[in-house]
Amino acid sequence: MARINGFIGRRDFLKFVGSGSLAIAATAISGSLIGATPKTAIADVSPVNPNPVNSNQALQLLLDGNQRFIQYKRQYPHQSLARLQLVAKAQYPFAAILGCADSRVPAEMIFDQGLGDLFVVRVAGNVASDMAIGSLEYTTTVLGTQLIVVLGHTKCGAVAAAIANEPLPGRIGYIVESIKPAFNSLNSTDAVIANVQYQAKKLQQNSTILAKLIQAGKLKIVGACYDIETGQVNFIT
């Protein structure tokens, strides 16, 4: 596989993920616009991970980190200057999080992780939109991440809005409509879990790339629910 400065080339990446799927394009930047010699901007793609973390190991790291968080024994790992300089060269996130954009649910904090540890995609209601799926295809195929966690949380406003089923202004309704298929008449806690399960299933159904990785044993997708009052993350079986 061809590499540029140690990175996977655009053509080989497209071959890897297949035509019609996610393309991380190298973009030519015009010298007339920036006053410099034209060059190619390359996506932040890491070389092959020399020490890949499998899905079970990744899940345990998240569990351990959340326990430190709720017990006030946080280690604040991988937040030094040396770590900053290391991940500037290449990133190998051991897990990906499809989480809600709610300000009370910052993934790196609740799992006590640091720079380069998690590939986090956040959108209200942890909806598996096309953009979210594309981002997760990127981290699994290019960066080698083998675990995706769909992370919902208690008292989710997006889920509550979907239950209320009332007209909403602007594009907020798009988010709610992406949640409604997950449930019918459920209470809010059950609805949050139902939405997590629905979005996790949607990832597999709407992405051939993720489905193939699961079939090959190179990826696991799990659901989880964060309690905003206790800080506890409960994984959904």
**Cα Rg of the chain (Å, integer):** 19
pLDDT at 175: 95
Where in the chain are the domains? 1-45, 49-236
Cα distance between the two ends of the chain: 38
Residues 116 and 91: their CA atoms lie apart, in Å, by 6
Residues 195 and 82: their CA atoms lie apart, in Å, by 39
The pTM of the full predicted model, rounded to 2 decimals, is: 0.82
Asked whether the predicted pLDDT for residue 92 surpasses 50, the reply is yes
Q: Identify the CATH assignment for 49-236 out of 2.60.120.260, 3.40.50.720, 3.40.50.700, 3.40.1050.10.
A: 3.40.1050.10
Q: In this structure, are residues 54 and 68 in contact, taking their beta carbons and an 8 Å threshold? A: no
Q: Is the dihedral of CA 225, 71, 105, 89 positive or negative?
A: negative
Residues 77 and 123: their CA atoms lie apart, in Å, by 25
Give per-residue pLDDT as tens, 162-184.
Answer: 989 899 999 999 999 999 999 86
Residues 43 and 85: their CA atoms lie apart, in Å, by 18
Q: In this structure, are residues 140 and 216 in contact, taking their beta carbons and an 8 Å threshold? A: no
